[in-house]
């Protein structure tokens, strides 16, 4: 059988990444792609990819030399929500119970989005009669047909279980739906040099203050827009985070440099209640913050995989690297379990400048040579 050669999957104009297949025997090609900025291995697809830029595409073509071109097969988009009367009523009952249970609005919207697909799929069926096997068949179809990620799969299961347990009153054990194997992934981290470039990129004082606050306090994006002017405790040196994830209040560190920047920002923009307000008042939008961050990442040539939340991961990792007590980091991040915080001990940069290999000790020890 003839050995397959490299395959380049032509990206669409909106593709975020360019994918390539590299034969197992093409060691040199694989090594060159590994060395490319932003290269990533997709084990399930057995493909390599890099960020979709004209420069990366040209570099890939040069590296591959002789290759086959194939069109990128785009997964089908999940069907739009077309609820009938029964579906609308079920959605209303779920929303009502989640509001009573004090779920966040973002969680409620997420559950509604997931359940909309579920209710549409079972349109005309009495939802109370749907079996566990039918639900798992539905999840299977979502995976195979629409290639949903493991996180979307879990969100789908959570929303379905919320409906059956909270609305229909089914016991928790009634629908023990199979979940995907937990992924042992590490948080994406920015180097200190990358953080410095990103948070200092904006010329706009408000934009810079937002990025500084996110990183220096280790905040979630949803938390930074909830900050009030009164939450900055200058004299005591902390930032108060009200009712964050899990409805928990907490305190986090207030940088001395951030105090100067926030003071300058407040004098210039004069916010009235929220620390960061939109042009017409009210909380600053999440979408705007994401745009500010993405632009800063792109313009500074930083890690293209980074998101706003990467600043929070980087905050924690950089504290671990400076040997700050994990209990302090846990409290500042608002983690309920120390196990969640311990993940950052695995994200510390490993290289021969920080850690000496035991081989070096052996070879340097003259007593072992005799």
Active site amino acids? 220, 245, 309, 312, 335, 344
Q: How far apart are CA 115 and CA 155, in angstroms?
A: 10
Q: Which two tokens stand for residue 40?
A: 């990533």
Give the C-alpha separation, 35 to 81, whole Å: 43
**Torsion over CA: 272, 273, 275, 277 (sign):** negative
Q: Which two tokens stand for residue 38?
A: 């932003």
Q: Is 313 exposed, middle or buried (0-12, 13-18, 19+ CB in 10 A)?
A: buried
d(CA 340, CA 41): 26
First-residue to last-residue Cα distance in the chain: 54
CA distances from 319 to 224, 238, 258, 335, 337 (A): 20, 16, 17, 15, 18
Provide the b/e sequence for 203-236 (b: ≥16 CB within 10 Å): eeebbbbbbbbbbbbbbbbebbbbbeeebbeeee
């Amino acid at each position: 059988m003839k050995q397959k050669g490299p395959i380049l999957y032509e990206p669409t104009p909106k593709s975020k990444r360019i994918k390539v297949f590299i034969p197992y025997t093409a060691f040199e090609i694989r090594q060159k792609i590994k060395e490319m900025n932003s290269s990533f291995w997709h084990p399930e697809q057995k493909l390599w990819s890099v960020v979709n830029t004209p420069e990366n595409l040209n570099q890939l073509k040069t590296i591959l030399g002789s290759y086959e071109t194939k069109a990128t097969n785009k997964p089908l988009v999940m069907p739009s929500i077309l609820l009938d009367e029964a579906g609308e009523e079920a959605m209303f009952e779920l929303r009502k119970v989640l509001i009573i249970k004090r779920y966040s609005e973002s969680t409620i919207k997420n559950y509604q989005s997931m359940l909309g697909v579920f209710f549409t799929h079972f349109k005309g069926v009495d939802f109370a009669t749907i079996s566990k096997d039918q639900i798992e068949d539905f999840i299977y179809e979502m995976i195979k047909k629409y290639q949903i990620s493991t996180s979307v799969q879990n969100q789908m299961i959570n929303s379905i279980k919320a409906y059956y347990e909270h609305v229909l009153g089914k016991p928790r054990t009634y629908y023990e739906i199979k979940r995907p194997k937990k992924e042992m992934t590490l948080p994406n981290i920015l180097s200190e040099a990358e953080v410095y470039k990103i948070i200092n990129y904006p010329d706009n004082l408000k934009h810079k203050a937002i990025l500084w606050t996110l990183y220096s306090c280790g905040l979630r994006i949803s938390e930074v827009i909830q900050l009030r002017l009164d939450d900055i405790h200058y004299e005591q040196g902390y930032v108060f985070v009200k009712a964050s994830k899990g409805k928990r209040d907490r305190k986090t560190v207030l940088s001395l440099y951030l105090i100067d920047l926030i003071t300058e920002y407040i004098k210039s923009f004069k916010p009235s209640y929220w620390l960061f307000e939109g042009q017409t008042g009210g909380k600053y939008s999440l979408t705007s913050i994401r745009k500010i961050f993405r632009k800063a990442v792109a313009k500074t040539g930083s890690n293209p995989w980074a998101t706003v939340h990467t600043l929070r991961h980087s905050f924690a990792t950089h504290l671990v690297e400076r040997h700050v007590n994990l209990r302090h980091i846990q409290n500042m991040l608002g983690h309920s379990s120390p196990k969640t915080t311990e993940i950052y001990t695995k994200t510390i940069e490993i290289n021969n400048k920080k850690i000496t290999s035991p081989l070096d000790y052996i070879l340097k020890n003259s007593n072992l040579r005799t």
